[in-house]
Structure 1
Amino acid sequence: MAEYRIPERLQVLGVDIEKSELPYHQKRVAVTKEFTFDAAHHLHAYDGKCTNLHGHTYRLVVTVSGFVNAIGIVIDFGELKQIYRDVIERKLDHQYLNEVLPKMNTTAENMVVWIWEQFEAALAQYDAYRGLRLEQIDLFETPTSKATLKREWMI
């Protein structure tokens, strides 16, 4: 078994490692972040219990890819969180989805496309030189039921 060792000192930028060494590679890498929001909705022209007003704790899983920047990061997880807060959470969290989304049946299948469009537009505002792009979005209505959208399906 390996022995655990506490470092005697932290590495120092410019002494132990140079800034030019921070990006280890120039490969496309995907990063994923998960979010949750609560909302109510009901479905039109549907014969089942979802015809009635009900709510979900939605889980949104967003995967973005790109090339690392000068310090080895594709996109900061905090930036992804801010995009989510600005374009998704502020619009959908604790809302009646039938009123706040464009006219549509508020199925997970319709919602995941709308979320993709919002996220993609917001992502375009970030450093384009890194080639940032959405790769996949999963929208869970329940822990075992989700709608998935992949980049190649949006082309």
Structure 2
Amino acid sequence: MDAKEYTKGTSSRALHVFFRLGELVCACIVVGLIGRFLFLIDEANSARLVYGIVIGSLTILFSLSFPLDFLMFAAWLIVFCLLETLTGISTCNAFWLNDYWGYYWGRWYRPGINWSGCSAWRTVLAFSFIASFTYLLSFCLGLYWVMTYYNRKERGNQAFGSSNTE
């Protein structure tokens, strides 16, 4: 094996590892913040939040599997859309955020814009979108790598110890 073959696809592999770590970090942040919220209210009656926890947990489990990348991208995009529709365009002034999220995070109704619950909610939205985007990029990069560097004929010859390529 010469040096050119050894370095083949090094940058794509490095990017792939970077995306995998990004997916894992985003999932841990979203699961941690929503999990804290569910702990504070001591009940899980919002299906959207439970869906976010489930997809985050599945991401933590499947962050190393290439074939599931596109499905996880779609699932994270759904999480982002479901959570975004709770507050709509008025993120920290929405009725749901003030009356539900605000009470359990700060124990008061009608909290201000710069309170910790608002930043936590924005963080959940941001990292759920970032997770979906990193899964999309990871899927595209994995597909590129498979289409470019995966050659069954060369792999079969290497498996049998033959150095001849036809």
Give TM-score scaled by structure 2 length: 0.27
**Higher strand proportion:** 1
Q: Which has the higher contact order (CA 8 A, sep 6+)?
A: 2
* Structure showing greater Rg: 2
**Higher helix proportion:** 2
Give TM-score scaled by structure 1 length: 0.28
